Structure 1
Amino acid sequence: MRADAARNRRLLLAAAADEFAERGLDASVADIARRAGLGKGTVFRHFPTKDDLLAAIVLDRIDELVAAGERLLAHDDAGAALLEFLTVAAHQRQQRDLSFLHEASAPSPDVTRARERMDTTVARLVERAREQGAVRADVTGTDVVLLMCAPNYVTSYVPGAPPDLWRRYLAIIFDGLRPQGAHPLPHPPPDASL
């Protein structure tokens, strides 16, 4: 991809994420193009449909998380690596509200494959942390995937919350993952195919 095309793609993805976050899925292509400082034709050259644009936003987010997770798999301290991964995930969400994605239509095959890669990476991080005794033996990768957005979700209910309040709830979550003082969980883990 040429440098100017790559730059335009980055601008469009950032503008679309902001526009969808503010207006929901009804955001118009014209508004996205205007926010990016580009023409509507440029949007359609990169993303023929709105679903393609939504899929690209999701893929970028997941690719960032997978890259971080794969890098952290080499970390000697698996517990610290898992905590850093959860911090990256929560910080990524705090930077840009992507809750509009829950309203999107069925994910594309590319998004499904990317999520599977992310789930596998998270499962490997959790497995390493369990092997080192850093997290409880009954915690699964699926548990951690479901908890990734929780710190930001919780703070979204606090009017005027300080921007780093999510860190408090991430610490509470991570303390709950640790084996010290843990009680048996009252329900089996959810199916990994959620």
Structure 2
Amino acid sequence: MHPTNRLETAPPARPLRADAARNREALLAAASAEFAAHGADASVADIARRAGIGKGTVFRHFPTKEHLLGAIVLDRLVTISELGEDLLGAGDAGRALLEFLTAACERVQQLDLSFLLAASPAVLAEPAVSAAQERMFGVVGALVARAQEQGAVRADVTGPDVILLMCAPSHAASPLQDSDPGLWRRYLGVLFDGLRPEGAHPLPHPPPAAPVP
């Protein structure tokens, strides 16, 4: 593959000029909104229009739409991983896991983590994105293990279980998102009660071997 066609989603090696940095920030915000509304079918023209820049500026920062989508996915994964890492030192590990899941669900509610679903295999296989995924999986596993050590989470739940459940509250509430945007919190409460050891029953199926297909 020609080097210029390789997905490069890591931040630029050299600091951007102030105006270029502002353009890039506006571009990522606009692209996030467009991808959230239209998925991978979002057009570069609409992204540029929303950002208030020209299409040429978009392509100077990101040679293809996949490069742009990869940068957004990477940013979201890094953000949620950093939050989890900050919570690993909390004294109450059960509360820390709940805080992490609440923050993750808020991002799903804003359609942030749905970029993982819209991203192509090429985006997800890009080394920076793949490493960020592994980082997030490790953080979730550590949060779950600490909560289990303190007796806050049932022993038969795994990190991959929790990763697959992270989007569930928002997906359950999505039919009523416009009329009741906070409804996902109710289903997060139901989900977290299911993670507690009190009153738990044996699960009828083994855990997944991996967090994502």
Relative to the length of structure 2, the TM-score reads: 0.86
1:72-117 CA distances to partner (integer Å, 9 max, x unpaired)?
0010000000000000100112124553542331012221111100
* Equivalent in the alignment of 1:157: 175
Counterpart check, 1:139 vs 2:157:
yes
> Match for residue 35 of structure 1?
50
Q: How far apart are the structure 2 equivalents of 1:100 and 1:85?
A: 19
Q: Which residue identity does 2:68 align to in structure 1?
A: L
Q: Is the 8 A contact 2:161 2:211 kept in 1?
A: no
1:63-74 alignment runs, 5 A limit: 63-74=78-89
* CA 98–134 in structure 1, closer or farther in 2 if over 3 Å, else same: closer
| Cα separation, partners in 2 of 1:193 and 1:176, compared to 1, 3 Å | closer
Deviates more, 1:135-144 or 1:11-20: 11-20
Return the offset for 1:134.
0.3
Q: In structure 2, what is the equivalent of residue 111 of structure 1?
A: 129
- Rounded Cα–Cα distance in structure 1 between residues aligned with 2:63 and 2:54: 14
Tell me the distance in 2 between the aligned counterparts of 1:98 and 1:140: 20
The yes-or-no answer on 1:22 pairing with 2:37 is yes
Q: Which runs of 4+ in 1 moved over 3 A?
A: 96-101
After TM superposition, give the deviation of residue 163 of structure 1 in Å: 1.2
**Which stretch shifts more, 88-97 or 29-38?**
88-97
Question: Structure 2 CA distance, aligned partners of 1:136 and 1:96?
Answer: 29
Q: Partner of 1:123 in structure 2?
A: 141
> Offset of 1:28 from its aligned partner?
1.5
Are residue 54 (structure 1) and residue 72 (structure 2) matched?
Answer: no
Q: Look up the equivalent residue of 1:43 and give its one-letter code.
A: V
Partner Cα separation in structure 2 for residue 96 and residue 5 of structure 1: 26
Q: How many residues align?
A: 194
Q: Distance in 1 between matches of 2:68 and 2:150?
A: 41
Cα deviations by residue, 1:122-164 (Å, 9 ceiling, x for unpaired) = 0000000000000000111101100111111111123644111
Q: Which residue of 2 aligns with 1:178?
A: 196
The alpha carbon displacement at 1:29 in A equals: 1.0
% identical equivalent positions: 65
User: What is the SS of the residue equivalent to 1:76?
Assistant: coil
Unaligned runs of 5+ in 2: 1-14
**Against the structure 1 CA distance between its residues 19 and 98, is the aligned structure 2 distance closer, same or farther, given a 3 Å change threshold?**
farther
Q: Structure 1: which 5+ runs fail to align? A: none
Contact 1:155 1:161 in 2 (8 A): no
The alignment yields a C-alpha RMSD, in angstroms, of: 1.5
Alignment partner, residue 90 of structure 1: 105
